């Protein structure tokens, strides 16, 4: 399959002037697959009403069919066609955080979306992205777009055009070329089919941020290893590079790591920890300091791609943050990327 490339970066403020915008719309309407940028990661989009189109998403990614997809919309009024249970509390959260990196799981109204998009569930996850290109595409095509991350299933998520191209060129109809995703991690997924609400997948919109709008609205328990995932990333291996990688905890002092031959090992740490990395090792900065969580979120997936691309790297260690409200999302992704492999700094 030939994969078309549309570089729309010079038109992001006036996408309707892009010469090939109708070609993009036509491919969506004909059941094709197009990768598009969002502020979280690049998504692999298809018409969420078209069962054959959504089937192609699972085939292109090699994604398990019971792993539900997130539906992307342009306007909150689009929800009326396929969801129910939109309470005043949910509307308040949407008003505050949309457009933005949060998805809401809502009861599904049958008959509008294809059944495959929900993974057989009676609920559906929906979000309204804030990325100017992704948002304008949604406005112009005027349809709900199902869009998981635009990568092969299990691989690190894509935050650049090159990540998408390397994984999916020849498998999909087209890629919309935009800038690197700003957030860098997938959206928070909030299960609103019950109250208190439950965070089904952590992201940059945190429990503290949500409860600043509606106090005591988030349940504290989490669900692990469930048989029927209600949100992407809950059940299957995700975000993992081919290069063996482990989390290193308790690197809180300034004691250098033991000096031996580390020439094929990458240490992925905050820049403030550069002095403890052996001179023979490969140092990759994760962020500025231990408190620079936004920087770590932004850089994580590009680094996971990088360690696979650099042939000199045979294994890697990545900095383990102390768990708190702001680090839950990145540690969730790191735990999955490393298959929960953790060592202490003193073991190095």
Where do the domains of the chain lie? Answer: 4-211, 245-347
Is the separation of the CB atoms in 346 and 252 below 8 Å?
no
Does residue 230 carry a pLDDT above 60?
A: no
In angstroms, rounded to a whole number, what is the distance separating the alpha carbons of residues 173 and 45? 10
Residues forming a β-bridge with 265? 315
Which DSSP string do the residues of 168-194 spell out, in sequence order?
A: HTTTSSEEEE----SS-SPPEEEE-SS
CATH topology agreement for domains 4-211 and 245-347: no
Q: Is the peptide bond preceding residue 99 cis, with omega within 30 degrees of 0?
A: yes
Please list, in sequence order, all residues whose beta carbon lies within 8 angstroms of the beta carbon of residue 203, skipping any fewer than 6 positions away: 40, 101, 102, 183, 185, 186, 187, 188, 189, 329
pLDDT (tens digit, 9 = 90+) per residue, 254-266? Answer: 778 888 899 999 9
Give the model's confidence band at 236: pLDDT under 50 very low, under 70 low, under 90 confident, else very high.
Answer: very low
Give the model's confidence band at 226: pLDDT under 50 very low, under 70 low, under 90 confident, else very high.
Answer: very low
Please list, in sequence order, all residues whose beta carbon lies within 8 angstroms of the beta carbon of residue 166, skipping any fewer than 6 positions away: 305
Q: What is the DSSP letter of 218?
A: B
pLDDT (tens digit, 9 = 90+) per residue, 128-162? Answer: 999 999 999 999 999 999 999 999 998 999 999 99
Mean per-residue pLDDT over the chain, rounded: 93
What CATH number is given for 4-211 in this structure? 3.90.870.10
49: left (phi over 0), alpha (psi -120 to 50) or beta: alpha
pLDDT (tens digit, 9 = 90+) per residue, 79-129? Answer: 999 999 999 999 999 999 999 999 999 999 999 999 999 988 999 999 999
Domain made up of 245-347: CATH architecture: 3-Layer(aba) Sandwich (3.40)
Please tell me the pTM assigned to this model: 0.93
């Amino acid at each position: 399959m030939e994969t078309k490339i549309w570089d729309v970066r010079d038109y992001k403020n006036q996408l309707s002037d892009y010469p090939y915008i109708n070609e993009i719309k036509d491919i969506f309407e004909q059941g094709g697959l197009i990768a598009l940028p969002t502020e979280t990661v690049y998504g692999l989009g298809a018409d969420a009403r078209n069962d054959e189109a959504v089937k192609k998403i699972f085939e292109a990614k090699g994604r398990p069919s019971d792993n539900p997809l997130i539906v992307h919309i342009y306007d909150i009024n689009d929800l009326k066609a396929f969801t129910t249970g939109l309470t005043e509390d949910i509307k308040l959260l949407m008003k505050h955080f949309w457009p933005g990196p949060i998805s809401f799981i809502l009861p599904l109204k049958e008959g509008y979306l294809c059944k495959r998009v929900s993974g057989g569930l009676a609920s559906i996850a929906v979000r309204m992205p804030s990325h100017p290109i992704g948002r304008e595409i949604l406005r112009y095509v005027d349809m709900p777009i199902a869009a998981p991350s635009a990568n092969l299933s299990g691989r690190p998520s894509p935050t650049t055009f090159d990540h998408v191209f390397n994984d999916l060129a020849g498998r999909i109809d087209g890629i919309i070329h935009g800038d690197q995703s700003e957030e860098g991690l997938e959206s928070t997924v909030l299960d609103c089919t019950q109250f208190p609400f439950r965070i089904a997948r952590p992201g940059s919109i945190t429990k503290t941020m949500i409860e600043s709008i509606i106090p005591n609205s988030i349940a504290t328990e989490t669900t692990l290893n469930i048989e029927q995932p209600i949100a992407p990333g809950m059940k299957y291996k995700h975000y993992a590079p081919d290069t063996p990688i482990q989390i290193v905890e308790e690197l809180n002092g300034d004691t250098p790591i033991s000096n031996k031959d580390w020439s094929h090992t990458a240490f992925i740490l905050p820049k403030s920890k550069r002095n403890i990395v052996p001179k023979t090792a490969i140092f990759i900065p994760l962020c500025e300091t231990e408190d620079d969580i936004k920087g770590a979120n932004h850089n994580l997936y590009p680094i996971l791609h990088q360690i696979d691309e650099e042939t000199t790297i045979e294994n890697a260690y990545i900095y383990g943050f102390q768990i708190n409200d702001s680090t839950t999302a990145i540690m969730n992704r790191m735990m999955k990327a490393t298959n929960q492999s953790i060592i202490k700094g003193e073991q190095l």
